[in-house]
Amino acid sequence: MAPAASAGLTGRPIRVGLDIGGTKTDAVALDARGEVMGRIRRASGYGADAVVADVVDSVRELGAEFGFSTSDVAGVGVGIPGVVDTDRGLVLHAVNLGVTSLELAALASGRLGVAVSVENDVKAAALGAASLRGRSSAASIAYLNLGTGVAAGIVVDGVLWRGSRGTAGEVGHISVDPNGRVCGCGQRGCIETLCGGGALARAWGRPGALPVRDIFEAAENGDTEALLLRADLARGAAAAVRVLVLSADVETVVIGGGLTALGEELCYGIRTALRAVAAGSAFLRSLHLDERIELLPPGSAVAALGAALVGAPTTTKETAVHG
Ligand SMILES: [Zn+2]
């Protein structure tokens, strides 16, 4: 396979990024300057063949809609939920997509004739969140995803930090309460049991399509159980922010994921929880953690954007021209 760098120099100006979620696939095309030139959203398929087809069809659909052919594409990056072996382009245990093991990069690349890179979706989103902050601040950020589960991606000096085994940023499974609820991972009191949408819905246990929204509404009406769960959400997310800043000293923690639909109410809760812990610690107060979080704007294509930058021929710093 020709290296992406040479492809980038021989007249292939466009990069494509995909965020393949459990229900929908978000795809963007970036022009030579790294600006988004087009975006499409389509329903995700289920199963290995359908996921490969998602990648191929998304690239072709973007091309048809925004006027380029696959021969104009320097590289395709795919963000996908699950364990990803980035060196081999292998996706493992993407449960929501019905994938146990899939050589996604090789199969999609073979059909498109374009280099394909694969990355975990939260890590791709971290790269996207960093690039949205622009060249001047391609510094160090963490992206904390509060969705059904909880995970983070860390970008240090503009470069995604995966760690030695790709586990860097898996803050959802740091146990912060030995007497807490049992987590899907087998531990008790993981951060995810406090602020993961799935864990909150199970703890709430009442019918409703939007359980976390219901918890917030019931808390407003003084429901005792809802007040406790709302506080859990805030203190779990605050714990994740502390872990991210104290371990990687990121300047900002950008919060994204489904729970950010709660908007400023969520941010207010997390800030308040951060201040509550800092009240007893001059050290924590000196870090101003409550001022270092921000919510991702709703509907942002951050994971698809970041995926487009995965495997890009230049470093993230050089391609971070947004904003
Ligand atoms: Zn856990």
- Predicted local distance difference test score (pLDDT) of residue 138: 60
Q: Which residues contact 217 (CB under 8 A, 6 or more apart)?
A: 226
How many whole angstroms separate alpha carbon 4 and alpha carbon 76? Answer: 10
What letter does residue 137 receive in the DSSP assignment?
G
**C-alpha 135 to ligand 1 mean position (Å):** 35
- Predicted local distance difference test score (pLDDT) of residue 298: 77
How many whole angstroms separate alpha carbon 320 and alpha carbon 47? Answer: 34
**C-alpha 258 to ligand 1 mean position (Å):** 19
Contact 131, 138 (CB under 8 A): yes
Question: Which residues of the chain, if any, have pLDDT below 50?
Answer: 1-9, 315-323
Q: Which residues contact 45 (CB under 8 A, 6 or more apart)?
A: 51, 53, 54, 97
Neighbours of ion ligand 1 (CB under 5 A): 173, 183, 185, 187, 190
Q: How many CB atoms lie within 10 A of CB 112?
A: 18
**C-alpha 308 to ligand 1 mean position (Å):** 30
CA angle in degrees (0–180, nearest 5) for 149-151-155: 155
**C-alpha 256 to ligand 1 mean position (Å):** 20
Say whether 220 sits in a helix, a strand or coil.
helix
Domain 4-127+301-319 in CATH 3.20.20.70? The answer is: no
**C-alpha 184 to ligand 1 mean position (Å):** 6
Q: Do domains 4-127+301-319 and 134-295 have the same CATH topology?
A: yes
How many Cα atoms occupy the beta-carbon half-sphere of 26 within 13 Å? Answer: 19
Task: Render pLDDT for 197-243 as a digit per residue (tens, 0 to 9).
Answer: 999 999 999 999 999 999 999 999 999 999 999 999 999 999 999 99
Show me where the domains of the chain are located: 4-127+301-319, 134-295
- Predicted local distance difference test score (pLDDT) of residue 139: 76
Domain 134-295 in CATH 3.40.50.150? The answer is: no
**C-alpha 96 to ligand 1 mean position (Å):** 18
